[in-house]
Structure 1
Amino acid sequence: MKTVWGLFKARDSSLAGARDDSKLAADSDSPRPESLSASNGSQNTSLNTSTSPWPGFPALKDLFIFGDSYSAIGSASAVDWSRSRGGKHRELPFKGETYADADGTNWVGYLLAEHRDAELRVHGYAEGGARVSAVEAQVGAFLGGTAKPWDPARSLFVTWVGINDCAYAETHAETVGRLFHLEERLYAAGARLFLFIDVPPIGRSPAGMRASSDISATYTNWNDTLRSAVAAFAGAHPAARVLTFSASDTFTRVLDDPGRHGFAEADVSAAGGAMWRDHLHPTSRVHRILARDIAAFLTSVSLR
């Protein structure tokens, strides 16, 4: 089991103002990606606002990430991006270590590089191909003490899984139930800040478009089941701040209006193009939009 962690001091001006020479990010002449927040009709939620404080995104010190290839950040360990580069970002975090483009990074890297002014340690347990059964091992690695010490009031536990589970079933109550058994273990270990990310509309990916039948329903069922489980988990733990970010909303807006986000209409269904690196994984440009939306949401969450 990989346990990846790094210490980052974002945002250095040399990166924040730089153009991406590999054209993974939109250049100055292209439309800038639109960010989402909880205020513009998305399904993002923040539960237990009256019973559990939220420190604010800038005050977070540790980010624990469980899930699959969309969040995996490579196999290197003990990476200290702030000190090893003299306190300056001269490369994107996790460049070439993710399932996005080799010259880019994923949403985790962009979140650090473009949306943080303070140090943030990232503990990456996510692995490519992971299903909920693999998240059990990821949580086990965390509980084994690989990430101590950490402050419950300033540590956000992120879980983004389900894409691979949806390939094996059409309904997901049992699987999501197992996932929240793992979340209970995290809560028992002291976790109090949770972020759940739903699955994107994989039926609209190149893989989904080539499927022999419409596969959209299984992903919709996962998201509906996840939202119900999140609400139940929050209700059982009023001392926890429980957040949900809808990756489905982000992907849907980009797919529905690619031009507004700097893509061509042909990119919507093309594997190996500007939007999809392959049949299933988004490019760094899409991950950059995800990072902006996640940062906008986390910034919008009320402290009480």
Structure 2
Amino acid sequence: MGVKSKAAAAILVLLLFLGSLWLHGGLDYQWDSCLKGYNQVNKLHQLYNSSGADGAEGSQVLEGCPGQTFQVSLLLSHLLAAQADTSDVLLQPYLSSWDELVRFMEALGPMVGLISKEIETKTSVIRQLALLAGESPEAELAPDVNSINSVSTEADSKTNPYHSVRSMILVELSQGLVDFNQQTDSGCRTLLRLHRALLWLKLFLEKVAETPVSGRLRSPSELCREAYQSTLANYHTWLVRRAAEVAFIAVPERGFFFRLVCVQNQEELSVLLNRVVQATGEVYDRTQKALEENGMLDLP
């Protein structure tokens, strides 16, 4: 067997092993991270108000991308629906956001797609808890952002204990489901693992959206690795960190991302991804605050 063949075989074995860690060890202490939705037509209604000074960008209608399984328009709609409450995060559209992010990771290829299987396991845990608590996971996953009451009532929380991040935290604390000293299968602990992964993806997309004033555009593979090193790597063992370096080699070049979201150049990609990053950041910040207020940022 030649040197190249041996190297290829070694990488394949390593990736299979990494996949096993993700699937059996999970996002918990192996790979917290790295990486369904409802049926919609391609053209969506108004999704997002840009932070731009004139707000012109926010008035644009975002269209679907024909031929792609991952739809950035759906991701945005889920993220916005999750923010319908003024300070909380609604869990059903939050989980639907992850459904679309799973499709995003799978679109990057089978090596990166290995990560998505563990994400699906985590979202399934929360959905199952919601089902057992009496809230059907088949309920509308992301209602129209314009038709949701902006304030969750106390009655809503009692009827749907897994209606939102804060209602889930409240019910699990009151029922003694959260253990601050050892691992459990609580929704709060599962949410924390997804929360950490969301920061990694947010930072990765933010870096891909950057347009340098001068110099070359760095490869998505390099940016993915850099985002990981400043986020999830802090929670992983040496072995998982080394394996992650191998997995990131498979991240496609920048032109792939143009095609994935139906844009023509870096300028258009930056505009679109910045909208995603801002929406993701709002969901992340609200979740971060809820977890921090209840001392849950370091759940084992």
TM-score (normalizing by structure 1): 0.33
Structure with the greater alpha carbon radius of gyration:
2
Instruction: Using CA pairs under 8 Å that are at least 6 residues apart, name the structure with larger relative contact order, 1 or 2.
Output: 1
Task: Give the number of the structure whose residues are more often helix, by fraction.
Answer: 2
Task: Give the number of the structure whose residues are more often strand, by fraction.
Answer: 1
TM-score (normalizing by structure 2): 0.33
